[in-house]
Amino acid sequence: MDALRSGYKHAVPRHTNEYNKPASPLIAALSLHKRSGRAGIFMTASSSYPQRVSPLLWLTVVVLITINLRPFLSAPGPLGPVIQNATGMDLRAFSWLTLLPMVLMGLGGWLAPTALQRLGARQAIVSALVLIALGCALRIAGASSMVLIATAGLCGAGVALVQSILPGLIKRQSPHNVPFMMGLYSAALMGGGAFGAQLSPLAIQWGMSWQASLAMWAVPVVIALPLAFYALGRIGLPLPATAAKHSQPVSNDTAWLMRRRRTWLLVLSFGLMNGGYASTVAWLAPFYQTHGWTATQSGSLVAILSVAQAASALTMPALAARSADRRLWIIVALLLQAVGFTLMALWPTAAPTLSIVILGIGLGGCFSLYMLVALDHLPSPTQAGALNALMQGGGFILAALAPWIVAQLQQLSGSWTVGWLYHAGIAALVCLMVAQFNPKHYAREMRQP
């Protein structure tokens, strides 16, 4: 962490106009608005004032919230043939179960500021969790493709809000443990995906309908709601008078971030990289089912992928914390993705578990490191959170196209090979973009006009 802090000092000077000035309506919404009386999050450039949530409670809340953001997305894949037979969906229609929520996750990065300004952080996150729970629960009536796609949209809208808020809160609440907390956040995302892929096929074996095996993911969301409501309310309490006295006023100037070339490089490279995850979640299980695997077996493979992602997401940021320069680790993760996709394309049945573990390590590590790099660019939690939200906003919209592209390639070529090789090539291309993420140049790249 000493290296991380020294890297920040070297990369971004603490000039008043760059370091202290909040940068986004996202942060304005995270403030305590005295006029409205809403309980938001009091976001300032300083993190030295007492926090009203214990570290253990904060860690628990981050995990409980985050673990609910992926089961709805990963559960349908292993059940693909069952769902397609019951609803008549073809591959392109089935891809909408991934495409639509990921588009909404992207739009959330842009629209979250308005929701936060109206609701405050606690109400926004709790409302988002309610949307996820509702979307999952309504799948009990998912006898048609339109119902399934609509519920995927509800869940995606909820996830969009959470993903746009939590990274900035993590940097504010845990300023000296950002790599660990972002690794934990990413690992919980991937772990939730593992649960969805593994348990939904098993639920069918235990006698549940496929609709119920998708709807059951409302239960852990409902369990997380009370603790999230309590903890976020504690964070949202007014700060002591001394803290309020030294806090900085917030302002609406997201536009300057959008005028930075680096912002768009982060958006483009994150979107291309994360497209590999979107395609894998959507098509890994159906791909192996064409090789004779059952829903449970292919679901187990998706779960193995998610466990590898979670382990990598947790460990790679910790390893990368020894230096402010994360490029080497991101490139290693991208090359592992390229190897995993190539093995899956050319030798899918030779050593499937090994191929999937390699791919999972690459996907999970790359995602968590990207989240960390976005936060690295600006030392203020307010500005870093805004940049992270913008990166996710545009990035998830780009990533949403990947499952549809792979479905198109499969139907045009009659084989999954072309789609997997496409993602291997994309991973190699993103390596060239990542080479530009030199922390010595962060201050210059993100200089506020």
Which DSSP category does 377 fall into? T
pLDDT at 147 exceeding the cut of 70:
yes
Helix axes of 91-119 and 261-289: crossing angle, nearest 10 degrees: 140
What percent of the chain lies above the pLDDT cut of 90?
37
Cβ proximity of 216 and 140 under 8 Å? no
293 found inside a domain: yes
Residue 245 domain-assigned (yes or no): no
**pLDDT band for position 9 (cuts 50, 70, 90):** very low
Give the span between the Cα atoms of 379 and 377, in whole angstroms: 7
CA angle (381, 252, 241) in 5-degree steps: 60
Name the residue among 231, 252, 232, 238 with its Cα closest to residue 33: 238
Q: Quick one: pLDDT at residue 180?
A: 83
Residue 321 domain-assigned (yes or no):
yes
Position 10 in a domain? no
Spatial CA neighbour of 99 closest among 364, 401, 396, 329: 401
* First-residue to last-residue Cα distance in the chain: 30
Report the alpha-carbon distance of residue 431 to residue 441 in Å, rounded.
18
Mean pLDDT for 125-142 is 93
CATH number at residue 66: 1.20.1250.20
Q: Which of 113-122, 252-261, 434-443 has the highest mean pLDDT?
A: 434-443
Identify the pLDDT of residue 28: 40
Give the separation between CA 361 and CA 191, rounded to whole angstroms.
13
Q: Is residue 120 part of a domain?
A: yes
Residue at 247 is within a domain: no
Q: Is the pLDDT of residue 34 over 70?
A: no
For 131, the domain range is 26-31+52-238+256-445
Of these ranges, 37-41, 43-47, 176-180, the one predicted with the greatest mean pLDDT is 176-180
Q: CB within 8 A of 33, min separation 6: which ones? A: 40, 120
The residues with which 33 forms a beta bridge, in sequence order, are 38
Are 151 and 83 in contact, with CB atoms under 8 Å apart? no
Please state, in angstroms and as integers, the Cα–Cα distance from residue 222 to each residue in 32, 93, 133, 135, 267, following that order: 27, 29, 7, 12, 32
Residues 6+ apart with CB under 8 A from 444: none
Mean of the pLDDT values across residues 246-258?
53
Q: Lowest mean pLDDT: which of 26-35, 108-117, 312-321?
A: 26-35
Q: How far is CA 63 from CA 182, 191, 228, in A?
A: 11, 10, 10
250: tokens are: 């917030």
Task: Give pLDDT tens digits for 164-212.
Answer: 888 777 877 777 777 788 788 888 888 888 888 889 989 998 989 999 9
pLDDT tens, 270-306? 999 999 999 998 889 889 999 999 888 888 898 899 8
Distance between CA atoms of 314 and 325, rounded to whole angstroms? Answer: 18
pLDDT given for residue 191 in this prediction:
86
Asked if the structure places residue 12 within a domain, the reply is: no
Q: How far is CA 264 from CA 48, 86, 315, 390, in A?
A: 32, 42, 27, 9
Alpha carbon distance 447, 13 (integer Å): 10
Residue-wise pLDDT for 370-387, tens only, equals 988 888 888 877 777 778
How far is 286 from 416, CA to CA, in rounded Å?
10
Q: Do the Cβ atoms of 109 and 389 come closer than 8 Å?
A: yes
Query: What does the pLDDT read at residue 252?
Result: 46
Residue 292's CB is within 10 A of a number of other CB atoms, namely 9
Total number of domains constituting the chain: 1
Least confident interval from 84-98, 214-228, 246-260, 415-429: 246-260
Q: Mean pLDDT of all residues in the chain?
A: 81
Least confident of 96-110, 213-227, 329-343: 96-110
The pLDDT tens digits of the residues spanning 70-93 come to 999 988 888 888 888 888 888 888
pLDDT reported for residue 449: 64
Q: What pLDDT score was predicted for residue 15?
A: 35
Q: For residue 173, what pLDDT is reported?
A: 78
CA-to-CA dists, residue 196 to 78, 104, 135, 218, angstroms:
9, 20, 15, 11
Please report whether residue 243 resides in a domain: no
